[in-house]
A and B are shown apart, each in its own frame.
Chain A
């Protein structure tokens, strides 16, 4: 394997053993960018000079014989909705096209303490609204397995970079599947931790009660390591949970014997691609073969999850995005006669179609006379969905299902039909509504050789068990060693 194809834990050992330098590694990744970024277009900002300087500093440290932490000197990508001090944070939106945050998100502070090499900021759907990264105001990212296909979204740039070898690891954010679904589409590992496990301070809000930052990596081992780094209570985020963070790498054991794995029948119905169903069923059989007990369960309110999600998330988004008014930061439209016109023109001109659609849905759902029928009802159904999971977890330890109902589709194929796009989120949004952790691991390919992901859902704050199941499954297969054929590779 080439350097840029290796997972972080392998590279870390190579750095420690002085088989490579961080500079060599960083230059290999930058060279890979030169080679394939023109097709993949995973990055909105590339901080080449900063990356080289960071790499050199780490090498000096190693040369002095100092110990290095897990991510030290290893190049990664940050989704462009995570605030990075001094580097643009655009959310792939024209309204923030020149916005530079004067502060670091808490995850960035935690990461920077590890001295990783930050390659740049990854493309995404504008304000994380979308499932294909086609809603980026700047560029369409290609799926490294077939650049005519979408990488998924909204963390499409992060997933594509990791799959293309233009980043070893990445951070994404997941509001309704935005880490797991692109991980599934790009054949990499992506985890949405329990709501509150990772601080949201500095994550530009889409839907506050659903958003969560998580890792996108080449395998489950890297996922556990990065989760260790970014987790924990943050006084700047009152919704972050005040629970001790376990060492997630301790969960990396090959053993699922006696574990009860729930298979929700509602996740295998209408709209599911036959290749996806076949591949996921095979993965479930594999888990059974490895000693897990397979239990068919029911999550009866699953059908309502999408409607619920598409009321709650736009409602929160409508208020979260109200701040983009051109007054004190971001873009401002020219030639407005008065205040109302200034705000209206600014938002009309600088916000994208999908963002405007969700703002309008959200404001409608919160309006006097509609609040009870839409928003309040959605909150009630959200509770029912959570209760479904609570009940299921009385019987089982984890729940396993497809991450997405289809593999990656062609760029432009679904973008004109928002409703069809929304239905793609059926398997992922229920977790966000219930605040539960979920991971997507590669479990095979479609007939078109596009990756398919297996989703493993855990109880709240029990990322350990899903990591254990994911790791055991991963080690029984070799999908995590497969790489997209791209460029000269």
Chain B
């Protein structure tokens, strides 16, 4: 039997507010244990939460950017469960009246097909602290300590409909959500710091069926690679179970990235009853149409719109425009390169090519690139003017990567100016023809490809500085 996967994601994203959701403590990552704490986030007796307005603003902006409806009446609830990283032994979250509902994003698959993934809801909640065990897990540790710095860091949870049917779609969806959250500047989305993590729900059903199968959940997946790998493994595992006539058990499984497998963690029988109740210490959140409109107006151009603009305005291909706009930083870098008067297609090629390659090699963000948009733009300008060839440009780029000098200065200092002087080139061509009679004969006897070797020789002798077009022209002329 052939099966179809049904995948839904719950994405948790930390919001980049300066202070925590219910108190004034800093949210900075990586501080010394228990230094960003106060009576409120420690859940001491008698304390009360007060909502950080920025959290509400960021959640509403996320909702608008993800095409959600904003609930004008929303409230917080207590999600009750005992765990030492949760000082009150409940998480302040939202249950039946989340701030945003009914949104969607569109993803473009590698085959070019576009698919809409619906978003059920987005709600606000507080993050928990971190346990520091003497052993590997709480079970095999003699002592465990709690670091409450993360307690109360604001989160939004974005819950999708089970609209994805392949690991690729799940990854593309998460990438898209990340890109949008970065565009609207509400989350750093640093996955390695746990800013963005996903719970994956997956079930299988016979292809074409509209009945949902039993699902399993994998929690806290924090890389795109892991999303795809964990889902791929889990789909295969479920397929095997079903093929063998077995049943899927509804359970939470963990993804072990080192072994590349998922492991059973907790079955439904042991599932929590969270005993949700309305949070009596926080007043309901009332949002007006005017406030929502003001937030909507404050949103920047979003990836889809920006991509369409780049295609239309600069004639970029859908693929190139998609890559350039996949992150706000890259799109802004592109715009800044264009502002120097650089050619758009060349700009796109350089950004997606050498620039990205160098950034990846050194694990740098584009915002930290040693070659800023202005210098790259100037360099592209030199190519367009014919001052340097594309090939020489690669050398210039490598120099720029290492030195802060302007591309003009580098070209001048290193003597990389392209030789466009016909006479100088003719001299070299004559020498090359003289020294490569065999190739000349071949060419003359009909093997037109032999000219390539000659061009190569000319370029070599000019140390790459000869304008390749001029070389071709002159050679063709001389060889008749």
Contacts and interface: CB of A to CB of B under 8 A. Distances in A.
B88 A105 contact: no
A200 B282 CA distance: 12
B344 to A, nearest CB: 51
B369 interface: no
B44 A101 contact: yes
Nearest to A342: B84
B146 A238 contact: no
Contacts of B282: 238-239
A64 to B, nearest CB: 36
A373 interface: no
Contacts of B404: none
A128 B45 CA distance: 13
Contacts of B78: 319
A236 interface: yes
A389 interface: no
Interface stretch (A5-13, A131-139, A321-329): A321-329
B87 A323 contact: yes
Interface residues of B, number: 32
A450 interface: no
A339 B88 contact: no
Interface in A198-227: 200-205, 207-209
Given A322-B82, A322-B89, A367 B48 contact: no
A200 B48 CA distance: 8
Interface in B22-73: 39, 42-51
B80 interface: yes
Nearest to B273: A368
B88 A322 contact: yes
B354 interface: no
Q: Which of B47, B50, B82 has the most CB of A within 10 A?
A: B47
Given A238-B51, A327-B84, A209 B89 contact: no
A319 B80 contact: yes
A99 interface: yes
A83 B46 CA distance: 7
Interface in A326-375: 327-329, 338-339, 343, 363, 366-368, 371, 375
Contact of B88 (A82, A235, A323, A343): A323
A316 B84 contact: no
Contacts of A101: 39, 44-46
Contacts of A367: 273, 275
Instruction: Tell me the interface secondary structure of chain A in the complex.
Output: loop
Contact of A315 (B51, B88, B90, B277): B277
B361 to A, nearest CB: 45
B275 A363 contact: yes
Contact of A239 (B87, B90, B276, B281): B281
Category for how many chain A residues contact B: 35 or more
B273 A205 contact: no
B280 interface: yes
B87 A319 contact: no
A203 B89 contact: no
A391 B275 CA distance: 34
B46 A205 contact: yes
Contacts of B89: 319, 322-323, 325
B435 interface: no
Interface in A33-83: 81-83
B39 A103 contact: yes
A159 interface: no
Contact of B280 (A81, A82, A201, A239): A239
B299 interface: no
Nearest to B85: A327
Given A208-B280, A239-B283, A322-B89, A201 B49 contact: no
Contacts of B283: 238-239
B221 to A, nearest CB: 25
A280 B190 CA distance: 68
A358 to B, nearest CB: 15
B273 A208 contact: no
Contacts of B139: 338
A89 B281 contact: no
B50 A316 contact: no
Contacts of A91: 45
A102 interface: yes
A237 interface: yes
A122 interface: no
Interface string B322-360: 000000000000000000000000000000000000000
Nearest to A343: B82
Contact of A327 (B39, B146, B280, B281): B146
Q: Which of B46, B144, B273, B277 has the most CB of A within 10 A?
A: B46
A312 B88 CA distance: 19
Contacts of B47: 201-202
Interface of A: 81-83, 89, 91, 96, 99, 101-103, 105, 200-205, 207-209, 235-239, 315-316, 318-319, 322-323, 325, 327-329, 338-339, 343, 363, 366-368, 371, 375
Given A239-B48, A316-B280, 10 more contacts: A91-B45, A201-B47, A202-B46, A203-B46, A204-B46, A238-B50, A319-B80, A323-B43, A323-B87, A325-B89
13 contacts: A91-B45, A102-B44, A103-B44, A205-B281, A209-B280, A238-B283, A318-B275, A319-B89, A322-B80, A322-B89, A323-B45, A323-B88, A338-B139
